[in-house]
Amino acid sequence: MWIIYYLTVGLRAAVGAVLYGIKADPTNEKFLHGIFFDAGMILGGINAFTLCLSLNHQRRYRSSAPPNPPPQGGGSAGKEGEPLLGRADLIRKTISFAEILLFILFVVALALLYVALIEEVTLYVLLYVGSYILQRVPVLVLVLIIVMHRNGNEGPTRQSKVYLFFAALFHLANDLPVFFWAQLLPGGCIIYGALSWIDVLTIFNYVSLILFFLFLRSEYLRNMEECIWTTVSQIQDTFDFRRF
């Protein structure tokens, strides 16, 4: 999910760059503007959905102690006599209620976006804006759950939590597309005659991506070390010659 998230971020940035540079005066450029506008909004929804899935995976599997491995030869979920039951259990363990809810929010946002673009009625536009905001609420909720979770020495380190917290803050500050901010914020340079509001928000976006990556790298190293020690402990318990 993190890989898909970064891919959608890159695609959305490329679409936004083209859209920001299009002059919507000629007829063909208006047509291109509409295509890239729609693509940018759709990618924004996919971007938020994949980020929520990534954070929810972190909450479920990596913010607590790793699950105990099944006993050797004692599992019954993989018996050939109960294939359907085994698959149903696997689906229930793999897909959580939170992920179903995130998918519903994503589909509702896409549906309202389609209606708002086709009808161009103020009510539908406001409904889509509400769904747009609602789809981003789980990001903050999941980040707060991960940051506030305490489980002894297990789970993310304090440094990783700091990375994640500030990454979410910078991400939400620049989650609206650049062309929206260009219409809302005043023009002109604000810092030493060189940086505009859009430039500052773009820097915030870069910082959020770097902090998300630092969090991801920190969690990868932590989980890799835990897996190594778990494997070594299992090998020692299995081939413990001291018993002989």
pLDDT per residue as tens, the chain (244 positions): 899 999 998 998 888 888 777 765 555 566 777 788 888 889 988 999 999 999 998 888 877 554 444 444 444 444 444 454 455 565 566 778 888 899 999 999 999 988 888 887 788 888 888 888 898 899 999 999 988 877 666 778 888 899 999 999 888 877 776 667 777 777 777 766 777 777 888 888 889 999 999 999 988 888 887 778 777 777 776 766 555 5
Whole-angstrom distance, CA of residue 114 vs CA of residue 127? 11
Q: What are phi and psi of 167, to 5 degrees?
A: -65, -40
Please write down the HEC assignment for all residues of 69-128: CCCCCCCCCCCCCCHHHHHHHHHHHHCCHHHHHHHHHHHHHHHHHHHHHHHCCHHHHHHH
Largest CA distance in the chain: 86
Q: Which of 133, 93, 98, 97 is nearest to 112 (CA)?
A: 133
Q: Taking the CA of residue 44 as centre, how many other CA atoms within 13 Å lie in the half-sphere pointing to its CB? A: 27
Decide: pTM greater than 0.85: no
Task: Report which secondary-structure segment, H or E, holds 227.
Answer: helix 197-238
Cβ neighbourhood burial of 198 (10 Å; 0-12, 13-18, 19+): middle
- Cα separation, 128 vs 122, in Å, equals 10
